[in-house]
Amino acid sequence: MGNRYLTVMMIVIIGLVSPNLLLAEDEVFNASQTSASMMIKYAEKSMKASSAEDAVQAELKFVVLYDVYIKAKSYALLNKVFFWFSVIAALAVLLWPSLSIVFKAKLDKWEWLKSATVQTTVTAIAALLFMFYSQYKDKQTNAETLMRHIMFSDKPAHELSLRVADELSKIDRGFSFNSVLGVEGADNKKTITNQTDD
């Protein structure tokens, strides 16, 4: 019985997480995609339409952009997965006290429903899932902001690549409680903003 619920839940999450699979490959402007997907499709069309003189620079710039796009896509997927797990866990925390009333007749078999330890554990798991969601959302936002910087910059690809490498090293750091609390994320956003102003 438990396996059926888990299978149904995973199917629902996959359906919600991957609406891009239903989109046409060459459709650039569609509100059902991430900003990163829209930017990479637009950049690819621009690269193909560039003149022979600008072709090398356009290709190099596209490579730099695509490198960031891989990160943005990965973080977007993780962000959506943890978002839905966070919603489910939040509902569990909200409804947990009511379970002892709903299953009143079966409490002899399910005594653990009333356990404060179990309720605390469920709350802690919900908080952890929310922290992962917040972490990956922040990283997705930083990657997409970096993609915008690349797209609208007039600087040559080799110069952009150095700045992008520096930013990706910051974005790619593992899970950090500082970034969840806004300390590291704020530093990343300031760096990107300063580069845009240069």
Q: Tell the burial category of 13 from Cβ atoms under 10 Å away from its Cβ (0-12, 13-18, 19+).
A: middle
Q: Tell me the pTM.
A: 0.64
Report the distance separating Cα 107 and Cα 167, nearest Å.
Answer: 54
Predicted pLDDT of residue 48 = 82
Greatest mean pLDDT among 51-55, 157-161, 169-173 lies in: 157-161
**pLDDT grade for 17, boundaries at 50, 70 and 90:** low
Predicted pLDDT of residue 193 = 47
Summary mean pLDDT of the chain: 75
At which residue do the structure tokens 């896509």 appear?
Answer: 73
Predicted pLDDT of residue 181 = 58
With a pLDDT cut of 70, the percent of the chain lying above it is: 66
- Residue 24 is given by DSSP the state -
Does residue 1 surpass a pLDDT of 60?
Answer: no
Model confidence pLDDT, tens digit, residues 80-133: 999 999 999 988 888 877 776 766 666 667 666 677 787 888 889 999 999 889
**Six-digit token pair at 104?**
């009143």
Identify whether the C-beta of residue 71 lies closer than 8 Å to the C-beta of residue 168: yes
What number of CA atoms fall less than 13 Å from residue 189's CA on the CB side?
10
Does residue 191 surpass a pLDDT of 60?
Answer: no
Buried b (16+ CB within 10 A) or exposed e, 55-73: eeebebbbebbebbbebbb
Report the distance separating Cα 22 and Cα 20, nearest Å.
Answer: 5
